[in-house]
Amino acid sequence: MDQRTLRNLFGQFASGVTVITCTNAEGTPHGATVTAFTSISLEPRLCQVTLTRKSKACGYLDAAPFAVNILAADQLETALHFAGKPQNPAPEWTEVGGVPVLVGNAATLVCSPWASYDGGDHVIFVGEIDDASIDESVDPLLFHRSTFRDIGPKSGSAAYNGCLDDPHGGWFDATATFMPLPAPISA
């Protein structure tokens, strides 16, 4: 399978857009637009970002604190800026716990380094979440099929509402037992 086909396959999965921020060796803030972000664990509080080995940010993250800036729908220019297309004016920075973060995010997670792993042509960085903030008044910026998108209108129903497979009210736990379905009656 060629790389373009594989990229197209991966592009079928809509993802949020983040900018991973940290400082370089001189202490200057640096950021990289990344869609490979996921939550890992609630206890301890862990998340993961994956960066291409070719990126400058990948070299800066080794054993360094970083922030995951989950971009809001109105931060398209910020995503482009940190994807190598500088915007004027540049995005606004602030600092949380000694880590540079962007202003105007849908959410921000400030992380201490937890571990890093070989991910082929990428490096997988796991961070322990030390601080977090959320702006529930904004929707996130999305990326799907190589295009930035907004979340769109809410659907008429949510997948988990009232479902016993809801992660907040009914995932099967270690004590759950299952009964086989009765065999169908043949005529």
Question: Would you state the structure tokens that stand for residue 34, as one six-digit string?
Answer: 């990344």
User: Options 3.30.300.350, 2.30.110.10, 2.60.15.10, 4.10.1240.10; which CATH number does 3-150 get?
Assistant: 2.30.110.10
Local mean pLDDT, 10-residue blocks, the chain (187 residues): 80 85 94 94 96 91 95 96 94 96 98 96 96 96 86 66 56 69 74
Q: DSSP for 107-120, please give it.
A: EEEEEEEEEEEEET
Phi first, then psi: what are they for 79, rounded to 5°? Answer: -60, -45
pLDDT of residue 133: 97
Task: Quote the pLDDT of residue 144.
Answer: 83
pLDDT, residue 28, reads 94
Q: Where are the domains of the chain?
A: 3-150
Amino acid letter, 76? L
